[in-house]
Structure 1
Amino acid sequence: MDSIFSPPLHRQRHQFVIDFVKRNKPKKVVDLGCSECSLLQKLKFHREIELLVGVDIDGANIKKKMHGLAPMSTDYLQPSYDQLRIELYQGSVTQEDARLRGFDLVTSIELIEHLTLADVKRFSEVVFGYMTPVAVIVSTPNSEFNPLFPRPAGFRHSDHKFEWTRAEFKSWALKVCLEYGYEVEFTGVGQAPPGQQERVGFCSQIGVFHWLGGRQECNMLFGDDAEDVFSYTLLYSINYPSLHDNNILQRVLVSEVLYWAEKMKRNWIEERTGERDDTYTLCPAEGEGEECLRASERHMEMEDKQTACGAEMKNPGEHQESELFWTNGEGQQESCKLRRCVSVPLAVLWSCCPKLSALSGSLSNLRHVLMDNPEVKLSQDGSAVLLNDQEQDLEEEEEDHDDLEDSGYAVCSHGAEPEEDWEKNV
């Protein structure tokens, strides 16, 4: 049947729901009869939704595709402020479950025709009377459209218990509105051939129900002391990474600080030495990085700083330029080599990098996060990030290399073993 429509009919039904979500921005959405979660997999990309739930009586169908709802790698690498939790339940739409009360949107796409008429009545009581969502979208086949299909008369699916005419669907919907305080608008998807739309209507007829009480009253409705019922079985749940999680926020902040501080340092060294390191060339898309680097040139400075020897320095000017002396716990002097560091002021990072300022909120917040993180080395007063001068690191590596050669030990180089001629052994 889908093949006679373009796009296919099931996609048109899903698109109808997606368009509704875009317009109304519901935070809590549940799809009843979610089957293999195809609609949920589309809705998860609309991050105005904070809680996305699927329910189906067939748990095996859910398990086939539920892991396709897991976060992608980019969600972890670039988490946003959006919050999303996904839950999947096995259960019947004729049973009450307190976890599904007070949602902004309930969808029932091609579901009720699979229920007996007695279960349709119970469905109405559960969805509109117990769950009381702000909005409900119900789609079901329109039997008046069936004669246009090139096949023998009968229901569209062997499991259908009925297929309503437009008048029958309207009668049920208006009765629901009268009993539970909703209003409904009728529409559909799947256009009839030219000249026949008015006579047969849409292939799938849709009722969009809006609760007359409104969103605020809906939230107040569930403040009673009624006993909660939990009749569904939770099969799957996942929280998407979000910057509202303090651990994730701190990880992203630290990563951004180290990234931009390193770029500033490289740029400063390039300006100082006239040598360019293409490894750290900015991509054109990183516009904010260029601003950071330009601003850093005005603030960066090279400083001689000692390694953390843990004791007070004594008269550094009296000794050679390459060494300082410090007092150990027994009052004896020992030498401690200078270690040059590039100092990147936090104020420059915070003011010039919009992402950092947006994530941290204030310079003091940024400093507080970094002071407790072992990955970042701050100056003594906490005003700057200290990064090792790579030039000195390379000199020390060369010295260590020479010392090792002088000691008589062989210097190994990974991957330097002679290659075996495999062809000779064949």
Structure 2
Amino acid sequence: MAQMFTPPLHRQRHQFVIDFVKRNKPKKVVDLGCSECSLLKKLRFHREIDLLVGVDIDGTKVKKKMHGLAPISTDYLQPSYNQLRIELYQGSVTQKDACLRGFDLVTSIELIEHLTLADVERFSEVVFGYMTPVAVIVSTPNSEFNPLLPGLAGFRHRDHKFEWTRAEFRSWALKVCLEFGYEVEFTGVGQAPSGQQERVGFCSQIGVFRRLGGRDGCNMLLCDDAEDVSPYVLLYSVNYPSLRDHNILRRVLVSEVLFWAEKLKRRWMEEKTGAHRLCQTEGGGEECLSERHVEMKEKQTVCEAGMRNLVEQRGKGVSEDQEEEDEVFGTNGQRQEDCCTLHRCVSVPLDVLWSCCPKVSSLSGSLSNLRRLLMDDPEVKLSQDGTAVLVNYQEQDLEEKEDPDELEDSGYAEAGQCSHTTEQGEDWEANV
């Protein structure tokens, strides 16, 4: 069967939720009827979300895919400033559970048509009366569109208990608003063929509910007297790495400091040995600029000014009796024996690192905080007065074939019981 919608209808519904999240930036989101967690897997990349929860009555389906929500390697290599916790529960949307109260957004995507009409009433009470979220997105099939669906006879899925017309969906939604203090906007996804949109509407109709009064509009009597019940079973939970964790922040900061200290040392050494050349490729050919041109260009940057200050750091990290030996390098002093194991060292001032690497300054917050965070780290060797990082002077560094002008980034970068399950198992949509 030829695909009727581009992109497929289930992706359009998920994209509708994602677009809503981008605009409204909810901190706490729960997907009711999460099934195999396909929507949650997309939402986890929107890191304005702090808590992402999925609920489904079919625990087997959840368990089948839940480990796909675990952090991946880049989440550890490039941790976000924001915190993200993901929780998955087995439970019925017709039951109240205290863990689902106080959310900014609740999504119910192609779920309510799997409930009996009596359970729809309980669903309304649980979601709008007990959970009282700031916003709710409900999508459900529009039965008026069904005659346009090729090969469809009856409901779109064998487990559907009903499929509403636009008028029936509107009637239920307005009743919910009147009873629980919400307003609703009607829309949908899945456009009808040209000239028929007005007559049949969207293939999937959507109601976007917003609580009157927004975040402050919760009925305080309802909130205070709400039942503290917990019938749901926690199946999975995970915390994503975050820079708010002191240990993770320190690890990333140390990595940045060591990376940039080594880069600055190499560039300074190459300039001092006359090996530094800046080449530009233009029109398929190379033009090597003179050292004087390079020097003039470098004087225009804060980073290069800081590099020249390496020479001016007389004795920083070196005991006073060594000051006359070399302006930057220490040789046989006890401090250098301890820190550099008899190797000569290049002293890279912390304020130079601060100027050259915005990520170092943003991660640490202040120069004094940078010094404090580095002070006791075994990977970092600081000067005696704690104002500079000591980097081993090794001649073999000059033999490495790297473009010294490429002060590249280190990699750190700035989400009968019914099935109560979403659209993943729909018979008709599996083919279109």
Q: TM (normalized to structure 2)?
A: 0.78
Letter in 1 for 2:178: L
Q: Which residue of 1 aligns with 2:154?
A: 154
Question: Which structure's relative contact order is higher, taking Cα pairs within 8 Å and 6+ residues apart?
Answer: 2
Which structure 2 residues correspond to residues 313-332 of structure 1 after superposition, within 5 A?
A: none
1:54 maps to 2:58 = no
C-alpha distance in 1 between matches for 2:378 and 2:239: 27
Letter in 1 for 2:114: H
Residue 377 of structure 1, aligned match among 353, 377, 381: 381
Deviation of the 1:355 alpha carbon: 0.8
CA-atom RMSD, angstroms? 3.2
C-alpha distance in 2 between matches for 1:277 and 1:224: 71
Residue 341 of structure 1, aligned match among 345, 354, 364: 345
Deviation of the 1:197 alpha carbon: 1.5
Letter in 2 for 1:299: N
C-alpha distance in 2 between matches for 1:360 and 1:323: 33
Q: Which residue of 2 aligns with 1:63?
A: 63
C-alpha distance in 1 between matches for 2:331 and 2:70: 56
Tell me if structure 1 keeps the 8 A contact 2:317–2:382: no
Query: Does the C-alpha gap of structure 1 residues 193 and 227 become closer, same or farther in structure 2, counting only changes over 3 Å?
Result: closer
Q: Which residue of 1 aligns with 2:230?
A: 230
Aligned residues: 368
Residue 305 of structure 2, aligned match among 295, 302, 309: 295
Tell me if structure 2 keeps the 8 A contact 1:303–1:342: no
Q: TM (normalized to structure 1)?
A: 0.79
Query: Does the C-alpha gap of structure 1 residues 393 and 24 become closer, same or farther in structure 2, counting only changes over 3 Å?
Result: closer
Tell me if structure 2 keeps the 8 A contact 1:85–1:240: yes
Query: Does the C-alpha gap of structure 1 residues 218 and 83 become closer, same or farther in structure 2, counting only changes over 3 Å?
Result: farther
C-alpha distance in 2 between matches for 1:164 and 1:82: 40
Letter in 2 for 1:228: D
Q: Which residue of 2 aligns with 1:104?
A: 104
Q: Deviations over 1:323-377 (max 9, x none)?
A: 6799xxxxxxxxxx96421111111111221111111111000000111111111
C-alpha distance in 1 between matches for 2:254 and 2:333: 32
Tell me if structure 1 keeps the 8 A contact 2:316–2:347: no
C-alpha distance in 1 between matches for 2:177 and 2:79: 42
Letter in 2 for 1:31: D
Q: Which residue of 2 aligns with 1:39?
A: 39
Which structure 2 residues correspond to residues 200-211 of structure 1 after superposition, within 5 A?
A: 200-211=200-211
1:212 maps to 2:189 = no
Q: Which residue of 1 aligns with 2:366?
A: 362
Query: Does the C-alpha gap of structure 1 residues 277 and 259 become closer, same or farther in structure 2, counting only changes over 3 Å?
Result: farther
C-alpha distance in 1 between matches for 2:333 and 2:182: 82
Gaps of 5+ in 1: 279-287, 327-336, 395-426
Query: Does the C-alpha gap of structure 1 residues 339 and 219 become closer, same or farther in structure 2, counting only changes over 3 Å?
Result: farther
1:243 maps to 2:243 = yes
Secondary structure in structure 2 of the residue aligned to 1:153: coil
Query: Does the C-alpha gap of structure 1 residues 152 and 27 become closer, same or farther in structure 2, counting only changes over 3 Å?
Result: closer
Letter in 1 for 2:309: H
Letter in 1 for 2:370: L
C-alpha distance in 2 between matches for 1:69 and 1:206: 26
C-alpha distance in 2 between matches for 1:325 and 1:175: 81
Letter in 2 for 1:170: R
Deviation of the 1:322 alpha carbon: 8.1
Gaps of 5+ in 2: 279-297, 336-340, 399-432
Tell me if structure 2 keeps the 8 A contact 1:307–1:339: no
Tell me if structure 1 keeps the 8 A contact 2:124–2:176: yes
Letter in 2 for 1:366: L
Deviation of the 1:151 alpha carbon: 2.6
Letter in 2 for 1:365: N
Identity rate of aligned residues, in percent?
78
